[in-house]
Chain A
């Protein structure tokens, strides 16, 4: 069974913020919301600085889903953890349960308070009918249904951020590790029909 996963290679991440901006643009997020964020540690420290892009990791045993008092979460068959914004009460428990700080709370509730939770959907929309206006408005893009990669990974300039079935992601990374020091492989160039005259 496929399980969709994100992976960010900190050796490749250069903190270009491409993923975060792409996510915000694709899902038309309010400015206060960062579904995905790039975190840099030890900035400017020689040899110690590195960056990594973090968002909802779509855990198999998602603690957010377990602690939710209204059980608004559901985990799709492909492992994408989604939630129903019409059931969510914005209590914040999922944020406390999340190791990755993924749940976000826009300040758009009554009296400018915390509204209902928003988080990375792996560009898979939500429980509303696929491609409906309501889905777009509440959850953003549904690129998975379009057969496309989530926007953040699609835009990643160095391919640091990889997304897909866990096994495929592991495969990509495995190949990357195995290719170390083996030299670059360009496509062999056939000149048989090359320049004539």
Chain B
């Protein structure tokens, strides 16, 4: 019925005209679907009642701890390495002698793809955490988008990286010994460090980057996509929004750890061991370096050559 329109509709249309001038009679015909977000469902009320569980924790951590921890850890790690560089200084190894071809082209590409991802993700993450200092708006928004793009790059790298280094990265007895002498970094002397192809520090970084990275991807994706229909949540007495909160908390803490080790990794490769970057460029490690820093690996390599 033409003359049979809800009274409210009439009032609404009045306002529409009042505010927005001409209203097109018919817009392009498309079926509009209900946004259907679970966040708008009856869960919403449940959610208000259960705010204390995760909501308050998230607010507490975000308001009081996340920024300060990020700042503290980053600064702390930088200061420690700066002092290390001043007091103990970098390790220098002879470039003479034999070189071992340790990193194939494939491995190097994978490494550098991952490296690129980290170089994008970590600073952009930083920009978001300290968004206020960067002034927010377009700049930080772009950083947020880059953070997501970096993640895509990281996803490309993480699976081959995991597979290609899975075996050498498995923990060995050497690792405990390595940890006891802190990898020989606390002394200026050239000591023989017990380690295989990768030392315990590198392994720690690997596992954090791969497993932690995986968790970071998942928690990031949860926050990125926002809406899921996970029946499992209900069995955990969790709402959709709680999942997001947990994801944010986990993402932040893991982010801190990854940032710390990423800086460590940078320091090691760029400053602590002179020339170690070379091996990731051309795939060759010099004998001197391998002999001291990866003694077990050296023995193996020599043994293989002898055959």
Contacts and interface: CB of A to CB of B under 8 A. Distances in A.
Interface of A: 18, 21-22, 25-26, 28, 31-34, 37, 39-41, 52, 54, 63, 66-67, 69-72, 86-93, 95-101, 105, 109-111, 113-114, 116, 136, 141, 151, 155, 157
A135 to B, nearest CB: 12
Contacts of A88: 136-137, 141
Interface stretch (B71-79, B124-132, B229-237, B279-287): B124-132
Nearest to B240: A101
B19 A136 contact: yes
Contact of A90 (B42, B67, B135, B141): B141
Contacts of B59: 63, 66-67, 97
Given A70-B132, A89-B131, A93-B248, A101 B39 contact: yes
Contacts of A155: 8, 11-12
Given A67-B63, A99-B51, 4 more contacts: A89-B137, A93-B248, A96-B248, A100-B48
Interface residues of B, number: 47
Interface string B214-236: 00000000011010000000000
B224 A113 contact: yes
B291 interface: no
A114 B148 CA distance: 11
A130 to B, nearest CB: 14
Contacts of A22: 8, 12
Interface string B239-263: 0010011001000000000000000
Main secondary structure on B side of the interface with A: helix
Given A70-B131, A99-B51, A100-B48, A105 B241 contact: no
Given A34-B35, A110-B145, A66 B226 contact: no
Contacts of B269: none
B55 A90 contact: no
15 contacts: A22-B12, A39-B42, A54-B45, A69-B67, A69-B131, A88-B137, A90-B141, A92-B223, A95-B39, A101-B47, A101-B241, A109-B145, A111-B145, A136-B19, A155-B11
B29 to A, nearest CB: 14
Contacts of A109: 141, 145
Interface of B: 8, 11-12, 15-16, 19-20, 32, 35, 37, 39-42, 44-45, 47-48, 51, 55, 58-59, 62-63, 67, 128-132, 134-137, 140-141, 143-145, 148, 223-224, 226, 241, 244-245, 248
B10 to A, nearest CB: 11
Contacts of A37: 40, 44
A34 B226 contact: no
Nearest to A16: B8
A71 B44 contact: no
Contacts of A157: 8
B136 A96 contact: no
Given A89-B128, A89-B141, A114-B226, A96 B19 contact: no
Q: Which 9 A-B residue pairs are closest in the complex by CB-CB distance?
A: A70-B136, A87-B136, A70-B131, A69-B131, A99-B51, A67-B62, A32-B35, A89-B140, A89-B141
A10 to B, nearest CB: 10
B63 A72 contact: no
B65 to A, nearest CB: 12
A69 B143 CA distance: 13
B137 A96 contact: no
A99 B59 CA distance: 11
Instruction: Name the residue among A88, A91, A95 with the largest chain B CB count within 10 angstroms.
Output: A91
Contacts of B51: 99
Contacts of B130: 69
Contact of A95 (B11, B134, B244): B244
B136 A101 contact: no
Contacts of B136: 70-72, 87-89
